[in-house]
Amino acid sequence: GESVGLHLPTLSVQEGDNSIINCAYSNSASDYFIWYKQESGKGPQFIIDIRSNMDKRQGQRVTVLLNKTVKHLSLQIAATQPGDSAVYFCAERKTSGSRLTFGEGTQLTVNP
Amino acid sequence: DAGVTQSPTHLIKTRGQQVTLRCSPKSGHDTVSWYQQALGQGPQFIFQYYEEEERQRGNFPDRFSGHQFPNYSSELNVNALLLGDSALYLCASSLGPGQVGSPLHFGNGTRLTVT
């Protein structure tokens, strides 16, 4: 079935480096995408979202890029900090409904 | 501004028992969705409630049921618990059932262990 998935299960970076977390989706009917951060023992925390009529959206230290041609979504985190260590999920949602389909997540570890 | 709150935070039940989980949505939100998250996996959609009715449902058996109250709070009920029901149950709220641009806000979940 159609689903949203992530390329890498783990990513390790040095503090201060930029991080890039990737996500591939297969549902062409999805036109809204969201990145969530989940720390141990907590629920997913909204980071940033993007609609399919956009290619890029920036937030505070984060940027989401959407490439609809290859159905690829990425999250860039600038100047990664130890507090960024968490599991990151991308999720997609269709306009006809509001359920989110999540990928399996990428565990980001920031080394001091 | 209170976010999404869930209770209890942890729960241990025996196979065959029934459980009720509770959720209060973020202030100003009127739609509640429930997700099940197995260890090491992404959350899976169970169902969504809006205007006190179930609006959408994921691929979960009828043992999973819910309710939404006039104050928008919600309950998730699971009957005849199985070992495989052990998971983190997440409640998420939003403004409206299908508004793109209204991201879901999640609570910290209820950790259910079935023995």
pLDDT digits (tens, 9 = 90+) for A54-63: 999 999 999 9
User: Hey, what are B70's tokens?
Assistant: 């006039």
Give the count of alpha carbons within 13 A of A103, CB side only: 30
Query: What pLDDT is recorded for position B1?
Result: 58
- CB contacts under 8 A, B 62-81 vs A, are none
CB < 8 Å to A3, chain B: none
CB contact under 8 A, B4 and A41: no
User: Domains in chain B, start-ordered, CATH in brackets?
Assistant: 5-114 (2.60.40.10)
Q: Which of B100, B102, B111 to mutate to test the interface with A (most CBs of A within 10 A)?
A: B100
- Residue % of chain A over a pLDDT of 70: 89
| Residue A43 CA from chain centroid, whole number | 15
Query: What pLDDT is recorded for position A104?
Result: 77
* Among the partner residues A32, A43, A44, nearest to B100 by beta-carbon distance: A32
* Among the partner residues B31, B42, B92, nearest to A105 by beta-carbon distance: B42
Query: What pLDDT is recorded for position A8?
Result: 57
The 10 Å Cβ neighbour count of residue A83 is: 9
User: Domains in chain A, start-ordered, CATH in brackets?
Assistant: 4-111 (2.60.40.10)
pLDDT bin (cut points 50, 70, 90) of residue B97 is: confident
**Residue B36 in contact with partner chain A when CB distance is under 8 A:** no
pLDDT digits (tens, 9 = 90+) for B20-46: 999 999 999 999 999 999 988 999 999
Nearest to B41 by CA among A26, A101, A50, A59: A101
Cα distance between residue A26 and residue A24, in whole Å: 7
Query: What pLDDT is recorded for position B100?
Result: 61
Mark A96-111 as b/e (b = at least 16 C-beta within 10 Å).
Answer: eebbbbbbebbbbebe
User: Hey, what are B14's tokens?
Assistant: 């025996």
Check pLDDT > 60 for residue A5. no
Amino acid identity at B77: N
Q: How far is A95 from chain B (nearest CA, A)?
A: 6
For A16, A31, B36, B94, the CA distances from B55, given in Å and listed in that order, are 44, 20, 17, 14
- Smallest CA–CA distance from B46 into chain A, residue: A99
